[in-house]
Amino acid sequence: MAIGATMHTFEIQLADVDRGVYGDLSLRVAQHPSETDAYLVTRVLAYCLEYEDGIAFSAGGVSTGEEPAILVKDLTGLITAWIEVGAPDAQRLHLGSKRADRTAVYTHRDPAKLLASWRGKTIHQSQEIMVRSFDPKFIDAAAQALTRRNAMSVSVTEGQIYLELNGTNLETQFSTHEIE
């Protein structure tokens, strides 16, 4: 018998001073059996840092190869943002960049290795793709605080993230990288 997804709920207070985005979010997030806690935390943080009208986790989550982890669609259903999490291959980024106005990658992996894996590959408008990485220790600590029901506060100011997750307080500076 196949193992089903684990459901997590997140009650999030978001204050992204850098973008002027504030709100209270209630998320139900399915964690695929193959998805690590670190990936799940990165996916939820990416959702918060990209939050805008029309944002949604992809229907198939990590189990679908046709969509990224997170999509933003306009009122007509057109994809306006293609947001990958983890370590997508160059072909996925190429496809996403062609399908959406904006493409971003959020990773908890070594950004140097990720960028090296794309070097020399064809990626549509690669110079326009935003790549952000989190300190793996920050993500690991957040993953340790993860439960099925989560109370979370995310504050962003001057590129610094302040995270409170189930009573655990963490902070980190996220790094932005360019695709060569």
Instruction: Answer for the pair 72, 79: CB distance below 8 angstroms, yes or no.
Output: yes
The tokens for 114 are: 């990720």
| Per-residue pLDDT reduced to its tens digit, 2-57 | 578 899 999 999 999 999 999 999 999 999 888 999 999 999 999 999 999 999 99
pLDDT value of residue 2: 52
| Per-residue pLDDT reduced to its tens digit, 74-90 | 999 999 999 999 999 99
Instruction: Answer for the pair 134, 107: CB distance below 8 angstroms, yes or no.
Output: yes
Q: Around 103, how many Cα atoms within 13 Å sit in the side-chain half-sphere?
A: 23
Cα–Cα distance measured from residue 89 to residue 79, given in angstroms and rounded to the nearest whole number: 20
Helix, strand, coil tally for the chain in percent (to 5): 25, 40, 35
Cα–Cα distance measured from residue 165 to residue 174, given in angstroms and rounded to the nearest whole number: 17
Residues near 59 by beta carbon (within 8 Å), at least 6 away in sequence: 67
pTM to 2 decimals? 0.94
pLDDT value of residue 66: 79
- Residues β-bridged to residue 140: none
The tokens for 22 are: 């504030």
Q: Which helix (H) or strand (E) holds 9?
A: strand 6-16
pLDDT value of residue 59: 75
- DSSP string spanning 96-165? HHHHSSEEEEEESS-HHHHHHHHTTS--TTGGG-EEEE--HHHHHHHHHH--SEEEEEEEEETTEEEEEE
Cα–Cα distance measured from residue 104 to residue 78, given in angstroms and rounded to the nearest whole number: 17
Burial of 149 per CB tally in 10 Å (0-12, 13-18, 19+) = exposed
| Per-residue pLDDT reduced to its tens digit, 51-60 | 999 999 987 5
